[in-house]
Amino acid sequence: MISLSDRVLLMATGEIECPGTEGPASLRWNWLADLYSHPAWGLVTIPGFSVPVGYTVATLCRDMPSGTVDPLAARWAAVDRLAVIGASRAQSAALYAWSAVADTTVDAHDYLGGHQFSGAEAVAAAFWAHLAAKPGSVAEACIAAAIEAWDSRLHRPSTRGAVA
Query: Distance (Å, rounded) from C-alpha 132 to C-alpha 129?
Result: 5
Whether residue 75 lies inside any domain: the answer is yes
CA 143 to chain centroid, in Å, comes to 11
Do residues 152 and 69 make contact, with C-beta atoms less than 8 angstroms apart?
no
Of 41, 11, 37, 54, the closest CA to residue 130 belongs to 41
Write out pLDDT tens, residues 86-143: 999 998 899 999 999 999 999 999 999 999 999 999 999 999 999 999 999 999 999 9
Whether residue 29 lies inside any domain: the answer is yes
Looking at residue 85, its pLDDT comes to 95
Query: Distance (Å, rounded) from C-alpha 13 to C-alpha 26?
Result: 24
Whether residue 161 lies inside any domain: the answer is no
Query: Distance (Å, rounded) from C-alpha 32 to C-alpha 157?
Result: 21
Q: What is the DSSP letter of 161?
A: T
Domain count, the chain: 1
Domain extent for 134: 4-9+22-153
Band of residue 58 on the pLDDT scale cut at 50, 70, 90:
very high
Query: Distance (Å, rounded) from C-alpha 104 to C-alpha 98?
Result: 10
Whether residue 101 lies inside any domain: the answer is yes
Whether residue 130 lies inside any domain: the answer is yes
Q: Where are the alpha helices (DSSP H) in 13-164?
A: 25-37, 51-63, 69-89, 93-112, 120-133, 136-154
pTM attached to this predicted model: 0.90
Looking at residue 78, its pLDDT comes to 96
Count CA atoms within 13 Å of residue 29 on its CB side.
Answer: 22
Whether residue 84 lies inside any domain: the answer is yes
Query: Distance (Å, rounded) from C-alpha 114 to C-alpha 86?
Result: 28
CA 113 to chain centroid, in Å, comes to 20
Whether residue 80 lies inside any domain: the answer is yes
Whether residue 125 lies inside any domain: the answer is yes
Query: Distance (Å, rounded) from C-alpha 66 to C-alpha 97?
Result: 26
Checking if the pLDDT of 159 tops 70, the result is no
